[in-house]
Amino acid sequence: METTVTLECIADSQLPLRTLEHELKAIHGLKVFFVEPRDQTAPVLISLGMNRKDEQADVHIRRIAHTLYEFLHSDEAQQIQITLVTIEGESINIVALESEAIRQIIATAYADQSW
């Protein structure tokens, strides 16, 4: 798997993040890895990866963006901070972004990967 983006998640409880993980895993063709920190003050990492030759990449990216947007605007995510980190190291706090802005960030990260 090639990691396209990683989500750094800070929350009081991992339960809502597990819900997000489950929702992302429902996207066919998307690989999701949930990494729990050893240190309770460190963020949970959720890595998302798509194959480069995936013809459905645009559909996957739209579904990822929509899933993240819906999760961030649910009651479950009120105290959660999520930063999207690209493979190039760019970090963007996505909590206040619209779905289309999140989609554009992920699409750019996917297109900029060196394969």
Residue 62: give the domain boundaries. 3-112
Q: Is 113 exposed, middle or buried (0-12, 13-18, 19+ CB in 10 A)?
A: middle
Structural domains in the chain (count) = 1
Residue pLDDT, tens place only, 39-93: 888 999 999 988 766 678 889 899 999 999 999 999 888 789 999 998 888 899 9
Confidence of residue 16 (pLDDT cuts 50, 70, 90): very high
Residue 10 vs residue 29, higher pLDDT: 10
CATH (domain of 14): 3.30.70
- CA 107 – CA 38 distance, rounded (Å): 31
User: What does pLDDT average to over the chain?
Assistant: 89
